[in-house]
A and B are shown apart, each in its own frame.
Chain A
């Protein structure tokens, strides 16, 4: 996983898998850098081949943290692969997250 600081935007990329074994670390790492004045977090899921219920839990925790207290940070999920997209739809989380499809910048 890689965190890229683009001024207003924090981009999280190179997330290969998001499961019970790494979801806590993923969540804590993102939460740790969040207070640095970002207005948007973009989590690039284009390389994420697998996600389980714990991985979803980590994304929800980040979303709650980012939008919760100040409500100022937007969370975007970029280009999820079809199986992951299917999981978001099945769990109706596509209604909570802003899921964006666009070519990598």
Chain B
């Protein structure tokens, strides 16, 4: 596992890859000691360096979690004539370097490692990064012993040193190249993405660059769709054949390596030492295939996998190349999240647009102006709880002396409710022959709408009132709707007219009843939907009385009746009454959002100057 190279002064470098195993620490320590001895360090300096190094390595190994344990601890020692610089790169979750490091109690068995590092080193910096942290330690050299001088060195030695130095510079340049190329590729492809917003094309270009940078032959990018159940092929090299969909619910043995990476949320290597199972789809890429699968993770969610590999395992990925693959996987994960957010934003905007359209259609169903009778004025109000609701009202003039008033409530809210409201509205106008008889009108409407409503388990309630000013009478029929409220002629109570009838869409044929009522001015008639009097949906029936008592502002059924009774003593037109009741409702609602549609029609005796807009 070790890879060591030593050079002579003036700047010698030594690297060692330490397997994540405490048993290996003494070997690493002895290797570093040998290197420092060769550099002519004093014994005291060597002892100090080896102790600090061992403490750093112990920490790196003892605190590692499973996902980092397969990766080595990287030790680098640089030695110049004036100082020794040691860096230990670990793959632990990292920790906060304390501001002040003090000795523990004498009897404590732990907690002296950082104290040693601080005591024996002149500088110690702990840098935390993603999946990797670096502890960098400096020891200034006090006892300088220049064993090698240029004058004393032979030509051969000088040549050897020059070659070594060139090798170091070339290694560093190569690593710098990887980093630069990765950055360039990321910037280039991001600019492209911003222009086209095509994630597929973006991924293909980025991964073509990845192959170039890492000298890989092939790649496969898979994405977990929003159902979260599969790994779906998103992009791949043209000469690779792999199945399009792989379920994430694999169980038992021979789980494909890509599925393993997604389920275990860590990189999976394959090659001569970890061969793929013969049934793995990637085994078909080549007989001696090697590579790495990285999970794409963002916000703790697995979004897919990126596999890059070589068809021939004679040249494995170098650590910088493996790092580049990981960087690209991380970057792709961020782009996928960003693309999904963008899609959702567009979807929401489309939905909002649809609702706005439906609202406009529904608004257009409400009459622009209401017909009036000579002795009676009519005013209407309709407020939807969401962008579109299932409430509506309509007023049809049947003759000089008669008006047909309709208030209906389709169960539910939103687009479906509004669509049925539109159908109901059209049917009333399409059946003029039945308008003289409210019960028959409802029966016909039910017959026409039953199939459509019951198919989607919906229903509607409706109330139809025929007002005849010549006969001073009103005929009311109801399809499961709340009662019509009437007060008249200095009466001291409100009459509640509630003829029998099932809601529309429950049974294919239903009988409705006409109830005839005499209207003696002055009088008030109120047709409304239950949104005016209902307690919040969460309140159960038994809670409603308590709820009403605790919320005196919102009208309960009784309060609505009181308001109507009180209105009789005031001389008000229908429009004025409508405005009064509407502001009562607004007051009851307060700042809160409307829970249910609120719709009403109010009739008041008056002179016909009260021509009114709905």
Contacts and interface: CB of A to CB of B under 8 A. Distances in A.
B50 interface: yes
Nearest to A58: B109
A26 B116 CA distance: 22
Contacts of B111: 53
Interface in A52-105: 52-54, 56-58, 60-61, 64, 83, 87, 90-93, 95-96
B278 interface: no
A36 interface: no
Contacts of A91: 103, 112, 115
A93 B107 CA distance: 9
A20 B106 contact: no
Interface in B90-112: 103, 106-112
B22 A20 contact: yes
B25 A19 contact: yes
A17 B33 CA distance: 14
A61 B119 CA distance: 23
Interface residues of B, number: 26
B29 interface: yes
Interface in B477-508: none
Nearest to B57: A20
Contacts of B23: 21
Interface in B165-201: none
B383 interface: no
Contacts of B108: 60
B58 interface: yes
A50 B29 contact: yes
Given A50-B50, A54-B58, A96-B107, A20 B112 contact: no
A52 B47 CA distance: 11
B355 interface: no
Given A21-B25, A61-B109, A83 B47 contact: yes
A14 to B, nearest CB: 16
A10 B113 CA distance: 29
Contact of B110 (A17, A19, A53): A53
Contacts of A20: 22, 25, 54, 58, 61-62
Given A52-B58, A56-B112, A92 B106 contact: yes
B515 interface: no
Contact of A64 (B55, B107, B119): B107
B51 interface: yes
A79 to B, nearest CB: 17
B116 A95 contact: no
Contact of A90 (B25, B26, B119): B119
B103 A52 contact: no
A29 B107 CA distance: 20
B54 A52 contact: yes
B61 to A, nearest CB: 8
A90 B115 CA distance: 10
Given A20-B58, A52-B51, A60-B109, A92 B25 contact: no
A7 to B, nearest CB: 29
Interface in B6-39: 22-23, 25-26, 29
Contacts of B54: 19-20, 50, 52
Interface size classification for chain A? 20 to 34
A92 B106 CA distance: 7
A96 B104 CA distance: 14
Nearest to B21: A21
B139 to A, nearest CB: 15
B106 A95 contact: yes
A83 B45 CA distance: 11
Contact of A52 (B55, B61, B109, B119): B55
Contacts of A21: 22-23, 25-26
Contacts of B26: 17, 19, 21
Nearest to A17: B26
B115 to A, nearest CB: 7
Contacts of A90: 116, 119
Contact of A53 (B22, B29, B50, B116): B116
A65 to B, nearest CB: 11
Contacts of B61: 20
Nearest to B113: A53
A17 B29 CA distance: 12
Contacts of A96: 106-107
A57 B58 contact: no
A11 B575 CA distance: 109
Nearest to A97: B106
Contacts of B55: 52-53
Contacts of B29: 19, 50
A59 to B, nearest CB: 9
A91 to B, nearest CB: 6
Interface string B102-146: 010011111111011001000000000000000000000000000
A9 B436 CA distance: 120
A53 B489 CA distance: 101
A50 B54 CA distance: 10
Interface in A18-60: 19-21, 50, 52-54, 56-58, 60
Q: Which residue, of A52, A64, A83, A91, has the highest number of chain B Cβ atoms within 10 A? A: A52
B436 to A, nearest CB: 100
Nearest to B106: A96
Contacts of B103: 91-92
Contacts of A50: 29, 50-51, 54
A64 B116 CA distance: 22
A54 B26 CA distance: 13
A91 B109 CA distance: 12
Interface string B361-401: 00000000000000000000000000000000000000000
Given A50-B29, A53-B113, 6 more contacts: A19-B26, A52-B116, A53-B115, A54-B58, A92-B103, A96-B107
Interface of B: 22-23, 25-26, 29, 44, 47, 50-51, 54-55, 58, 61-62, 103, 106-113, 115-116, 119
Which 10 pairs, one residue from A and one from B, show the smallest C-beta to C-beta distance?
A: A57-B109, A53-B112, A20-B58, A21-B22, A53-B113, A83-B47, A20-B22, A60-B109, A52-B54, A21-B23
30 contacts: A19-B25, A19-B26, A20-B22, A20-B54, A20-B58, A20-B62, A21-B23, A21-B25, A50-B29, A50-B50, A50-B54, A52-B51, A52-B55, A52-B113, A53-B58, A53-B113, A54-B58, A56-B112, A57-B112, A60-B106, A60-B108, A61-B109, A64-B107, A64-B109, A83-B44, A87-B116, A90-B116, A91-B103, A93-B106, A95-B106
